[in-house]
Chains A and B, each alone.
Chain A
């Protein structure tokens, strides 16, 4: 269980996260939604220990440190691979450092995405880089797989392929936390949605609960975000000076 309690993160006096408390058991696929700057990336960086914070983040009751950090992997649109070595060299590096590295999954995903094994990553296209970033995160052997906008810049076919593969390969103990703006795309395969706004959790709902309430994920998010449907027409009226 990944547990976050009373998380507070500030950047030079500006609050990035406040009063964030979450419990994330194994075996879930979670969508983390929020506008740009809401705190999604900061939340992931806090979990990974990349930034200092107040509050408590534990994994199975223990603080996250070198003893259990291998249980968490991370794929980011910023990319975290080494740009000047090949995919094969990455595989060897991960195998050396992450005891649970899943070589079979790595090779299978490399074949599926048809990525070159011996070219340095710097020469990959943006789509290939994103795919490889995700392959590493999925192959590390982690129980918690954090993905921060992993497909920013990828086309719809790439993304659809990824969703299918993800659903097919995940084992029951693996949890994926996927930060994305592509709400409709992921609504079909996530089991829980966490909404974050201005550094606070404003919504946390399972898909089953939404079904019971006969709501779609998109409608729930719009409702929780207090989305004003007349926003566009009002803005157009203001700009053009025309009344409907």
Chain B
């Protein structure tokens, strides 16, 4: 069904499978790379505690590293995927120039915005999906940080500090 919708917005005969495979792979790898956040976060979390006779104690006046600092580059995979997906605009255009000049047929269609529909719309949609996925992961990781970190160890304005980057 997804393929049908994409094909309707692609030059006839163009293989949308390669686009979807790239998107899925990009999202998967981005998610996998983002898991590095947890390694850094748990290290920061552990640094809040002292261990005495096998028991963990929260150190006094200690602050957890800011969420933004822990997050670092772990979500850049989603941005990279979004950029890569934009290159499919070029791939789609080149498809209509190789083997035949089907671009001539597309340009003769009696509808406005044909080039946007066939070349631009889906790659931009993929890029937006990737960025939204990144934002979703950001939100989940932020919620985990806020819930799992002791309140007294969290400095103010964590959410705003992300965007200050």
Contact = CB atoms under 8 A, between A and B. Distances in A.
A84 B104 contact: no
Given A89-B12, A120-B13, A80 B102 contact: yes
B51 interface: no
Contacts of A93: 12
A4 B103 CA distance: 24
A50 B104 contact: yes
Contacts of A82: 11-13, 100, 102, 105
Tell me whether chain B's interface is mostly helix, strand or loop, or mixed: loop
A83 B108 contact: no
Nearest to A142: B108
B119 to A, nearest CB: 14
B108 A85 contact: no
B101 A84 contact: no
Given A50-B104, A78-B100, A84 B14 contact: yes
Nearest to A97: B109
Contacts of B109: 66, 69, 97
Interface string B15-54: 1000000000000000000000000000000000000000
B147 interface: no
Interface centre among A81, A82, A99 (most CB of B within 10 A): A82
Nearest to A83: B99
Contacts of A81: 100, 102, 105
Interface residues of A, number: 30
A20 interface: no
A90 B108 CA distance: 14
A79 interface: yes
Contact of B101 (A49, A78, A98, A129): A78
Nearest to B110: A70
B60 interface: no
Contacts of B14: 84
B9 to A, nearest CB: 14
B161 interface: no
Given A97-B110, A97-B111, 17 more contacts: A66-B109, A69-B108, A69-B109, A70-B108, A78-B100, A78-B101, A78-B104, A80-B102, A80-B103, A82-B12, A82-B105, A84-B12, A89-B12, A93-B12, A120-B13, A121-B100, A122-B99
- Shortest Cβ-Cβ A-B pairs, 4 listed: A84-B13, A80-B104, A79-B100, A83-B99
6 contacts: A66-B112, A79-B100, A80-B103, A81-B100, A82-B12, A89-B12
Interface of A: 48-50, 66-70, 72-74, 76, 78-85, 89-90, 93, 97-99, 120-122, 129
